[in-house]
Amino acid sequence: MARAGVERMALFARQHHKRNGEGSVLALKSRFPQRIYMGTPKPFSERGDLSDGFLDQTNTYLRDQRYQFIGELLFAHADKAHGEQTLEGERYVAPGGKNVQRLISAVEQRHVPVMLHWEVYDWDRDWPAFHALYARFPAVIFIWPHAGRASHEQVATVVSSHANVMVTLSKKEHRARSLSSEEKAEMLGEGVIDDCGVLRREWRDLFVRYPERFMFATDAHKSFRWAKYEAIVERWRLILGQLPEPLAQSLAWRNAERVYGMAR
């Protein structure tokens, strides 16, 4: 963070049977309480609906004031070429599940954001379900990682339909090519910049139209992403530098401070 010139970070651990980083994140939060905005750990084992055990555990986290948002929940996550392969080709949790509804109700009571990851490779299946979920809990702030890897038209549909959805721009520099399924990859949208690094007009127009709905993010989730963290931050400084300064500041940090409640 110091080398990259980053003042504050929203961070959560990965719940994994081989390596669980929760202790490390808790230690960082203890050492730098004003710089780390900590979310609940990210699970990889949930399928169909959120399990009773996960729901109980997350409700425990919600009673702990150190946890300030619900970390990334994988609702529609296609297998990646460099990751674990599943028989189904995806990790999928149905937005209409009973325990999903119970969790969001608990989040609503605590007044914290929740990060729900869904990719648009099956838009016709998923958008109606998320449309209904967002509408059922209008007081909850939903954070949509990677803009769902969606096109500008799809992102416009989501943000114009629901004022309670915030969109992060992590990994949206270019069109995603990491999916193990070429068919699913073809369903994903374009990046925010062209091959020359110029911000596409369609995305600029979206940022101008919805200046309070987008947030810079990096998705530094594995060692290879941390290794190029500074380069990712610098790339986004160049991208956001193509916008008027007030708008660039909103996307870079002002919106995140508002959403996460980290006022200066």
Q: What's this model's pTM, rounded to 2 decimal places?
A: 0.95
- Condensed to tens digits (0 to 9), the pLDDT of residues 96-126 reads 999 999 999 999 999 999 999 999 999 999 9
Residue 106 CB-density burial (10 A; 0-12 exposed, 13-18 middle, 19+ buried): middle
- Residues 72, 117 contacting (CB under 8 angstroms): yes
Q: C-alpha angle 64/69/70, rounded to 5°?
A: 95
CA atoms within 13 A on the CB side of 213: 21
- Condensed to tens digits (0 to 9), the pLDDT of residues 34-54 reads 999 999 999 888 999 999 999
User: How far from the centroid of its chain's Cα atoms is residue 1's Cα?
Assistant: 19
- Condensed to tens digits (0 to 9), the pLDDT of residues 149-205 reads 999 999 999 999 999 999 999 999 988 878 889 889 999 999 999 999 999 999 999
- Condensed to tens digits (0 to 9), the pLDDT of residues 201-229 reads 999 999 999 999 999 999 988 888 899 99
Domains and CATH numbers, the chain: 9-260 (3.20.20.140)
Assign 168 to helix, strand or coil: strand
